Structure 1
């Protein structure tokens, strides 16, 4: 190899080494987090008398297949009736969603009446319309917290009891996210979704809550303080992931997003590959938009204000690639190092610097692979065993997680390429009216 070729290869290896180091540090950070996810989940608050006033909004667009069962489920909520109201946000539906609400005696808001101009797209625009309809500026006088649910969601009966108690005991934080469970896990795709959520719930959400880091808002099953939301313009967000955008706004305001491990919201996971890819591409588009638009203010905050660990944690979360992407980088690094070793047993191909990079890439990748293995198998087994009633099936569950993770790569890439396009909301179809988990 000539001198120019050696220089080019060395530079490429050096850049790949930096990428490998980033993956290794990212993986190490999340592995350290998992250590705080083990052990029994114990309430750090006492159950209190019903006091908090809740407004529950159920986002629904053409949900005639599931809205009836959701309404029936919500009628089982165990809380003082005068302290909460539920409205279905019937967002431009062309099916019987509104009729079903009427038949079941559920209050609903029909955005098709067009009493207010539409602000934004998709779900957040429908929610914003509902806030306008209900009085907007006056809502903080009527309610303490707003809960957001999707039309397919079922909830535990004591969800408001737990949230009321935690909200009061923890000094009225800006937001609380509840445990996100699954209605269904019949095929490999929906099972992969469910397994991913179970691992995240315990080894990301619960772990972060225990050490005081901001939790992630998951799009449904969360409450946000009404006065805070109204102060910031309601659900007038710019991205396709209003949940992540809201989370970042709270963190930048030095607010708190907490986690509740004791009540659950059950939602339907996609079983159709095409529908799933559309959903995850939307997630990725919105995620990258929030990441790029928040980079400068988060960096500024990192160097000028207190709470640096919380800001750094959020930046790692914003710019962390999908786990499957990171795993692929690790595998490529190991294979490249092995192939180089086999091909150059008797010849000198690279410069000394290039050989060092190969050695370092192999070492960092091998460590990362070991950490990935721990996260996948040890953490998955523990989360399923402790937090669910699933029977642990090693092969099927592992393959499902890999299937879910590696099909996420396409969505991540497409989301990155289209991150500026935040004007088209893709609806996820729902049809499950009952929990189908084993």
Structure 2
């Protein structure tokens, strides 16, 4: 009786993990057929408000501000607001000398969502067309707003740009950069290619101004980008992805920073899964394909955990039940192949050996993170930059 129960449990787990792997394989393959839309030059120039939440970001905020203020876009058509939270007085003093608005926060409990909500309150009665959200460690090119304007002038209400690593100076940073590009392939290019919305990723995000000020008040977790994504999809608003418009983002350099960051992200995913699960009947009734796909994505296991679990069962069953292990080995091969294809060719050829060296460590810390998730979705955990 006990072996039969174990056998049934193995098959149930296999089916769940197969769905997760199938999702990754499908969208990784689709990403290779992605073609970026070409937006024509826009005769109308949109007005942009750029929000940069900055919690203890003294080391990087000036570089970010400089990259925003050197835009070729007409200066009178965009404004920059830095939301300074617990930054040093001398940093704030130097920022006041720039052509920006500065909001100083001294919150007992800080969060990016709270910073954005407070900033939104200050611009509610102002006239802008789009809101662009950047992180304090981001850098953008001088023609960034000019290119973004081409897309926004087409009436697109939500856009995710290509967030790309600005540093790969340690093996951990390189691994983080590779994971970012996998996400771009699977959850952005792959999604768009098959007619679904792009996933949001925290920065380099542009939203219709009126939509943003009405909806940012509903974000309260550490995964504010995922909450915004859920709100967009629930309202039937498509999220576009511009692969050619790069937002440079600093990758974590140290193992502890990577572990804490990913633990927060797993907790946010679980929080989102529970939230979206409750709205699933409505999405089904309305035929909201974007929302249904996002709900499925929220419930699939992270890729590192897939690698750990599938690899474990492949090896164990190879010893105790060689025939049963075959299906697990096939699943493991499919997963590895899809992840390999999701990494850009230039990164694969140049850095693959270094990425592979760090992968076992990353799988282990992600599995251990599963036991330390309590309260992480509401607990702000700052990633140090600079």
Mark yes or no: TM-score above 0.5. yes
1:325 has 2:305 as partner = yes
Larger Rg: 1
Deviation at 1:54, TM superposition (A): 0.9
Which secondary structure state, in structure 2, belongs to the residue aligned with residue 293 of structure 1? helix
1:301 has 2:282 as partner = yes
Task: Spell out, residue by residue over 1:75-97, the C-alpha distance to the aligned partner (whole angstroms, 9 max, x if none).
Answer: 22221222211111112334533
How far, CA to CA, are the matches of 1:367 and 1:301 in structure 2? Answer: 36
How far, CA to CA, are the matches of 2:258 and 2:28 in structure 1? Answer: 27
Deviation at 1:39, TM superposition (A): 4.8
- The residue aligned with 1:64 is 58
Counterpart among 426, 432, 437 of residue 381 in structure 2: 426
Task: Spell out, residue by residue over 1:135-168, the C-alpha distance to the aligned partner (whole angstroms, 9 max, x if none).
Answer: x2x24xx111111111111012222222221122
Instruction: Assess, with a 3 A threshold, how the Cα gap between structure 1 residues 78 and 406 changes in structure 2: closer, same or farther.
Output: farther
The question of whether the paired residues in 1 share the 8 Å contact of 2:19 and 2:300 is answered with no
The question of whether the paired residues in 2 share the 8 Å contact of 1:192 and 1:403 is answered with no
Which secondary structure state, in structure 2, belongs to the residue aligned with residue 154 of structure 1? coil
Task: Spell out, residue by residue over 1:327-386, the C-alpha distance to the aligned partner (whole angstroms, 9 max, x if none).
Answer: 2221232223221247xxxxxxxxxxxxxxxx4x52431221121221233332xx142x
- The residue aligned with 1:313 is 293
Which secondary structure state, in structure 2, belongs to the residue aligned with residue 261 of structure 1? strand
Structure 1: which 4+ aligned runs deviate by more than 3 Å? 39-42, 103-106, 400-406, 420-423
How far, CA to CA, are the matches of 2:321 and 2:260 in structure 1? Answer: 42
Counterpart among 5, 20, 26 of residue 32 in structure 1: 26
**TM-score (norm. length: structure 1):** 0.82
1:286 has 2:248 as partner = no
- The residue aligned with 1:410 is 368
Instruction: Assess, with a 3 A threshold, how the Cα gap between structure 1 residues 394 and 290 changes in structure 2: closer, same or farther.
Output: closer
How far, CA to CA, are the matches of 1:50 and 1:429 in structure 2? Answer: 39
Instruction: Assess, with a 3 A threshold, how the Cα gap between structure 1 residues 301 and 399 changes in structure 2: closer, same or farther.
Output: farther
**TM-score (norm. length: structure 2):** 0.92
Instruction: Assess, with a 3 A threshold, how the Cα gap between structure 1 residues 339 and 197 changes in structure 2: closer, same or farther.
Output: same
How far, CA to CA, are the matches of 1:421 and 1:196 in structure 2? Answer: 21
How far, CA to CA, are the matches of 2:43 and 2:5 in structure 1? Answer: 64
1:224 has 2:207 as partner = yes
- Structure 1 segments unaligned to the other structure (5+ residues): 1-6, 343-358, 432-438
1:248 has 2:230 as partner = yes
The question of whether the paired residues in 2 share the 8 Å contact of 1:189 and 1:403 is answered with no
Deviation at 1:190, TM superposition (A): 0.7
- The residue aligned with 1:354 is none
The question of whether the paired residues in 1 share the 8 Å contact of 2:308 and 2:363 is answered with no
Deviation at 1:99, TM superposition (A): 1.8
Deviation at 1:12, TM superposition (A): 2.1
How far, CA to CA, are the matches of 2:52 and 2:13 in structure 1? Answer: 42
Counterpart among 231, 235, 239 of residue 221 in structure 2: 239
Q: For 1:91-130, list aligned pairs within 5 A.
A: 91-112=85-106, 121-130=110-119
Which secondary structure state, in structure 2, belongs to the residue aligned with residue 262 of structure 1? strand
Instruction: Assess, with a 3 A threshold, how the Cα gap between structure 1 residues 222 and 408 changes in structure 2: closer, same or farther.
Output: same
Which secondary structure state, in structure 1, belongs to the residue aligned with residue 369 of structure 2? helix
Q: CA RMSD in A?
A: 2.3
Deviation at 1:402, TM superposition (A): 4.5
Q: For 1:245-394, list aligned pairs within 5 A.
A: 245-297=227-279, 299-308=280-289, 310-341=290-321, 359=323, 361-380=324-343, 383-385=344-346, 392-394=350-352
Instruction: Assess, with a 3 A threshold, how the Cα gap between structure 1 residues 402 and 74 changes in structure 2: closer, same or farther.
Output: farther
The question of whether the paired residues in 2 share the 8 Å contact of 1:55 and 1:147 is answered with yes
Instruction: Assess, with a 3 A threshold, how the Cα gap between structure 1 residues 378 and 287 changes in structure 2: closer, same or farther.
Output: closer
How far, CA to CA, are the matches of 2:33 and 2:129 in structure 1? Answer: 33
Counterpart among 396, 400, 421 of residue 354 in structure 2: 396
1:172 has 2:156 as partner = yes
- Structure 2 segments unaligned to the other structure (5+ residues): none
Deviation at 1:422, TM superposition (A): 4.2
The question of whether the paired residues in 2 share the 8 Å contact of 1:58 and 1:87 is answered with yes
Which secondary structure state, in structure 1, belongs to the residue aligned with residue 72 of structure 2? coil
Deviation at 1:45, TM superposition (A): 2.4
The question of whether the paired residues in 2 share the 8 Å contact of 1:62 and 1:96 is answered with no
How far, CA to CA, are the matches of 1:99 and 1:405 in structure 2? Answer: 43
Instruction: Assess, with a 3 A threshold, how the Cα gap between structure 1 residues 278 and 203 changes in structure 2: closer, same or farther.
Output: closer
The question of whether the paired residues in 1 share the 8 Å contact of 2:46 and 2:149 is answered with yes
The question of whether the paired residues in 1 share the 8 Å contact of 2:264 and 2:376 is answered with no
- The residue aligned with 1:353 is none
Which secondary structure state, in structure 2, belongs to the residue aligned with residue 392 of structure 1? helix
